[in-house]
């Protein structure tokens, strides 16, 4: 079982603020890292799947970077909006024949208007 740490556990920001949070995972046997956005009363939705060290992906105001050598990924949200309020989950995979994702506990983001 992979040890996945996400920080902070929760975050409150004002509309328009930019923010970021961290996902830490074991750097050995890394294959892929997933980021998911989970709104209350809904189901998780994929944001990014990243596999390469140094990879950077962007979707609108949200972007993510990946460092597989040191075992971390950052998620950035530029100009936060109230609709960005959600729990953001990361999930690494150690590859091979195993498709298993180990989800972190998530960062709960609340954007105040």
> Contact residues for another protein (CB under 8 A)?
31-32, 34, 42-46, 49, 51, 89, 93, 95, 97-106
> Where do we find the tokens 């609340």?
110
**Least distance (Å) between residue 105 CB and another protein:** 5
Identify which of 83, 31, 25, 35 has the alpha carbon closest to the alpha carbon of residue 56.
Answer: 35
Residue 22, strand partner residues: 7, 74
Q: How far is the CB of 100 from another protein (least distance, A)?
A: 6
Name which of 26 and 79 has its Cβ closer to another protein.
Answer: 26
Q: Say if residues 51 and 57 touch (Cβ distance below 8 Å).
A: no
Q: In the complex, what is the shortest distance from the CB of residue 69 to another protein, in angstroms, rounded to a whole number? A: 19
Query: Quick one: 96 or 113, whose CB is closer to another protein?
Result: 96
Closest CA to 54 of 41, 65, 39, 40: 65
Closer to another protein by Cβ: residue 44 or 111: 44
> Do residues 77 and 61 touch, judged by C-beta distance below 8 A?
yes
Q: Give min distance, CB of 17 to another protein, in A.
A: 26
């Amino acid at each position: 079982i992979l040890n996945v740490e996400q920080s902070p556990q929760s975050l409150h920001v004002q509309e328009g603020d930019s923010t970021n949070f961290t996902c830490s995972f074991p750097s050995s046997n890394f294959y892929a890292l997933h980021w998911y956005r989970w709104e209350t009363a809904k189901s998780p939705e994929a944001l990014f799947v990243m596999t390469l060290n140094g990879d950077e992906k962007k979707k609108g105001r949200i972007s993510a970077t990946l460092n597989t050598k040191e075992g971390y990924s950052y998620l950035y949200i530029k100009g936060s909006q109230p609709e960005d309020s959600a729990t953001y989950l990361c999930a690494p995979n150690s590859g091979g024949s195993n498709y298993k994702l180990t989800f972190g506990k998530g960062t709960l983001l609340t954007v105040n208007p």
